Structure 1
Amino acid sequence: MKKAIIGKKVGMTQIFDENGKVIPVTVVEAGPCVVVQKKTVENDGYEAVQVGFSDLKPHKVNKPTAGHFAKADAAPKRHLKEFRLEDCASLNLGDLIKADVFAEGDIVDVCGTSKGKGFAGTIKRYGNASLKASHGTGPVGRHAGSMGAASDPSRIPKGKKMPGQMGNETVTIQNLTVVKVDAENNLIALRGAIPGPNGGIVTIANSVKKA
């Protein structure tokens, strides 16, 4: 059964297992998320649920958006995501999805937005090599180098690694292990690192490609 939840990255820490081994973990404040809309095969051609996370002050939403949340008898939410869960039919408007949908040992994929690094050259962005930092190298020590052959094909090929925006893109980390679940405080500890800064919004779902 596919499970998913929206959460907020709290930060990284470490815990010890029963053998005293250190495990680096990322703590995520997962939910509670409320079901605010249901998609059905009859009306939409597929089954899914739209869930909301993180309360928003009522005066910060317009009337159509407020009416959307009122149908689910829920407070306005800051973040909305749609998930195609296998048990969509059993969920109703206003139902809560909490951190305890996952259990210790589950393998999950975490999707978030990576930290933005701004405009970066090819050395920082892709790990290209630079010229020797010595006399005579000139002002091109960190330039991208050759762009391609001059006579044929006489153009820059598609996919050429060029300077540009680095980071601030959707990143998915696959096959992370759920180390601990604190249902009372809506916290999930995941082994390893996940994308984005502390406070960033992430989604946690069952792994699609288990290692």
Structure 2
Amino acid sequence: MKGIIGKKIGMTSIFDASGKQTACTIIEAGPCVVTQVKTQDTDGYNALQVAFGDKKEKHTIGAEKNHFAKANTSAKKCVKEFRNYFEEKNIGDTITVDIFAEGDKVDVVGTTKGKGFQGVVKRHGFSGVGEASHGQHDRQRAPGSIGGSSYPSRVFKGMRMAGRMGQDRVKVKGLKVVKIFADKNYILVGGSVPGHDGSIVLIQK
């Protein structure tokens, strides 16, 4: 699995020669530094640990400083692993957007926007109990009945109700790489990517 860590910049549109518009997400992918190479013999599995984004030294604990020093790099904000990496890499190597090509299909992993505590209309798409007529009062966004009274005298597990929404780890599969700007470390993928602008995402192939 090839992969890189990136930061979501925002969205834009790309037009082809025929004038067809494609909505794209701009991701600043890398450059990432290889900080550890895990193998079956030493760690029990094969993986490549990469780091992205500079961090101030005063915000870095000693163990992290020593870990990054082995890779001859400065302190980094984000450290992730990619298992069974296809290409051979050594500690201190740099990974850039060049590992992808225009037209590739990639998977993007991110954390969705947090919505806080939401009702059933926003969270699950309920329509409400009914119109505000015949004595009903403030029932347009109500959830309605959630279970029986005498039987089963409880609420079944998994009942769709109000609650916390968002902040979920989501993988969007099969996004097309529309364009790559290697000089700016930008990669444009077709469609939307989970997370707010500035959030960390993983791009995998």
TM-score category (smaller protein): over 0.9
Count how many residue pairs are aligned between Structure 1 and Structure 2.
204
User: How far is 1:169 from its partner?
Assistant: 1.3
C-alpha distance after superposition, 1:117-169 (max 9, x if no partner) = 11100111000111334242213432221112233332211111111111111
> 1:181 — aligned with what?
180
2:102 to 94, 101, 104: 104
The root-mean-square deviation of aligned C-alpha atoms, in Å, is 1.3
Deviates more, 1:4-13 or 1:133-142: 133-142
C-alpha distance after superposition, 1:52-95 (max 9, x if no partner) = 0001111210111111111111111000111113336x211111
> 2:191 — aligned with what?
192
Identical residues among aligned pairs (%)? 48
For residues 76 and 165 of structure 1, the distance between their equivalents in structure 2, rounded to whole angstroms, comes to 34
For residues 141 and 14 of structure 1, the distance between their equivalents in structure 2, rounded to whole angstroms, comes to 38
For residues 172 and 153 of structure 2, the distance between their equivalents in structure 1, rounded to whole angstroms, comes to 38
Deviates more, 1:136-145 or 1:181-190: 136-145
Q: Tell me, yes or no, if the aligned pair for 1:120 and 1:166 is still in contact at 8 Å.
A: yes
SS in 2 for 1:123: helix
User: How far is 1:37 from its partner?
Assistant: 1.0
> 1:138 — aligned with what?
137
- Within a 5 Å distance, the mapping from 1:21-36 to structure 2 comes to 21-36=20-35
For residues 194 and 140 of structure 1, the distance between their equivalents in structure 2, rounded to whole angstroms, comes to 35
SS in 2 for 1:181: strand
Deviates more, 1:153-162 or 1:30-39: 153-162
For residues 26 and 199 of structure 1, the distance between their equivalents in structure 2, rounded to whole angstroms, comes to 12
Moved over 4 A (4+): none
Q: Tell me, yes or no, if the aligned pair for 2:132 and 2:140 is still in contact at 8 Å.
A: no
User: How far is 1:18 from its partner?
Assistant: 2.3
- Within a 5 Å distance, the mapping from 1:65-144 to structure 2 comes to 65-87=64-86, 90-135=88-133, 136-144=135-143
- The normalised TM-score by structure 1 is 0.92
For residues 178 and 131 of structure 2, the distance between their equivalents in structure 1, rounded to whole angstroms, comes to 46
